[in-house]
Amino acid sequence: MSAFVIVGAGLAGAKAAEALREQGYDGDLVLIGDEQLPPYERPPLSKGYLAGSDAFDDAVVHPEDWYAEHGIDLRLGTRVTALRPSDHVVELDGTDLRYDRLLLATGSTPRHLPGDDELLHLRRRGDSDAIRERFGQGRMVIVGGGWIGLEVAAAARQAGTDVTVLEAADQPLSAQLGPELGQDFAALHRDHGVELHTGVSVDEVRADGVRLADGTVIDAASVLIAIGARPDTALAAAAGLAVDNGVLVDASLRTSDPDIYAAGDIANAEHPFYGRRIRVEHWANALNQPATAAASMLGQDASYDELPYFYTDQYDLGMEYIGLPDAGAEVVIRGDRAGREFIAFWLDGDRHIQAGMNVNVWDVVDPIKALIRSRKPVDAKRLADPDVPLDKVTDQ
C-alpha cells in the first residue's frame, strides 16, 4: 500500500489531507505538525480571536477525532529533522518515516530584528494569547505597519490600549497598496487614536521600548515585531530541492523532485494566468492550493490558477483584495473614499484591471475577478462611476 506524508499541520496541511481522502486516496496518510494543537486557521489570531470576539475552536479546521475517523495519522508535537529524497524518507526525532509522495506545507515564520527574540511576534495561538494579555497593560509599540501590525493595532485600541506603530515607509501598507491607498489606512488608525510614525528607522528594540535612528526613545510596556514573514524552507533547502523565495514548484505544485510537492506560504509557483512565478502568504492560498496538490499527487493533470485574495478587518473597516498589480499601476477609485465605502482598481498601461480592493462594499469580488480575467481594457471614467454596473465598464 502507498504512503503519503504531509509535513506541516496548518490549514494547508489539513486541507491537503482532506482533499486526498475526498479524491479517493485510501492509502496510508500521515500529517505531521510541531504544535500540540490540531490544525487551525491563522487569520483569527490577528482578528477575531485576538480581539476576544471569536473562540479558538472556530479557527480549528477539523476536530481532532476527525482525522482518526478518516484514517489520517495526525502526529502533533512532532518535529521533522530532515528529508532524504533519495530514500523517500522523512526523518523524525529518532525514527524514519517512508513515503511514496510527500507534501511540504511548512508555512512561514516571522521576520526578526537583531536582538528581538524575547519580544512579541505573531504566528501561533500562543503568540496571540501573549499579545492579548498585554492589552490594557500600558503602551504597546508595534514595529511594522503591514497587515499584521495594523490588525493588532486595531484589536489593541479597541481593547483600550495605547498604541504606537512605527513604519519605515512613508505610509503603512505602501508596499502592498501603494502610497496613495496607504494614506487611507494611516488616517483610519490615527482617527482611532493610534500614534503612527512613518518614515522612521529603528536603531534598538528592547522589552521596555524602542530607540529610533534619530535618537528618539519611545517607552513601552510591550513591543511587537511585525515586519513580515519568510517562507520556512529550511527542510527543503537542506534536502536539495530548488529554493528561491520559497520552494520552487510548477503549476501542479510539484517541486524539483517528482515525488515531492509544496503548498501554501512556501510554494513559489508557476501561475498559468500570470505566466510567471508568484508566492502568496495569504489564507486563501492555504485553503485552495491543497486540492490541486492532492490531485497532482494522485497523478491527475491539475494546475493552480486562482487569483490572489486577501481580506482584513480593522475597526469598522472591512476589506477584500483580489489580484496582483504591477508597481506603478494607475489607481482608479469608485465610490465614497472619504466615507470609507469604495472600490479601488489598479490598471496597467493598457487599461487592463490587474487588481481590485473593495472597502465596506460587498458582493463584488466575483465581478472584479471576472474583469481581471477578461483582460479587456476598461473606460476609466465608467469604472469610477458607481452608477455604471461593473459588467459595463469595458471598452468591448
Helices (DSSP H) in the chain: which residue ranges?
11-22, 48-51, 64-69, 125-133, 147-158, 174-177, 179-191, 234-238, 283-297, 365-374, 380-384
Over residues 218-229, the pLDDT tens digits come to 999 999 999 999
Identify the band that residue 94 occupies on the pLDDT scale cut at 50, 70 and 90: confident
pLDDT score recorded for residue 328: 86
Cα separation, 323 vs 348, whole angstroms: 12
Cα separation, 371 vs 374, whole angstroms: 5
Given a cut of 90, is residue 114 above it in pLDDT? Answer: no
Cα separation, 55 vs 247, whole angstroms: 33
pLDDT score recorded for residue 1: 67
Given a cut of 70, is residue 396 above it in pLDDT? Answer: no
pLDDT score recorded for residue 184: 96
Mean predicted confidence (pLDDT) in 87-95: 94
188 neighbors 173 (Cβ within 8 angstroms): no
Question: The C-alpha cell of 6 is what?
Answer: 504531509
Question: The C-alpha cell of 371 is what?
Answer: 474583469
CA 16 to chain centre: 17
Closest CA to 114 of 222, 204, 199, 232: 204
Handedness of CA 357, 390, 394, 288 (dihedral sign): positive
Cα separation, 359 vs 339, whole angstroms: 10
Share of the chain above pLDDT 70, in %: 99
The CA-atom distances, in angstroms, between 149 and each of 118, 155, 163, 221 are 18, 10, 11, 16
Residue 56: count other Cβ atoms within 10 Å of its Cβ: 15
Given a cut of 90, is residue 90 above it in pLDDT? Answer: yes
Given a cut of 80, is residue 216 above it in pLDDT? Answer: yes
Over residues 140-195, the pLDDT tens digits come to 999 999 999 999 999 999 999 999 999 999 999 998 898 889 999 999 999 999 99
Given a cut of 80, is residue 63 above it in pLDDT? Answer: yes
Cα separation, 167 vs 206, whole angstroms: 17
Closest CA to 180 of 359, 378, 344, 335: 344
pLDDT score recorded for residue 88: 98
Q: What's the mean per-residue pLDDT of the chain?
A: 96
Over residues 268-324, the pLDDT tens digits come to 999 999 999 999 999 999 999 999 999 999 999 999 999 999 999 999 999 999 999
Given a cut of 80, is residue 6 above it in pLDDT? Answer: yes
The CA-atom distances, in angstroms, between 304 and each of 129, 178, 193, 243, 253 are 34, 27, 42, 19, 8
Cα separation, 286 vs 281, whole angstroms: 8
Cα separation, 245 vs 252, whole angstroms: 18
Closest CA to 38 of 160, 105, 164, 125: 125
Burial of 149 (0-12, 13-18, 19+ CB in 10 A): buried
292 neighbors 272 (Cβ within 8 angstroms): no
Share of the chain above pLDDT 90, in %: 94
Question: The C-alpha cell of 224 is what?
Answer: 511587537
Given a cut of 90, is residue 8 above it in pLDDT? Answer: yes
246 neighbors 256 (Cβ within 8 angstroms): no
Question: The C-alpha cell of 14 is what?
Answer: 489539513
Helix (H) or strand (E) holding 142: strand 140-143
Query: What is the number of alpha carbons within 13 Å of residue 75 lying toward its C-beta?
Result: 16
Over residues 324-363, the pLDDT tens digits come to 999 889 999 999 999 999 999 999 999 999 999 999 999 9
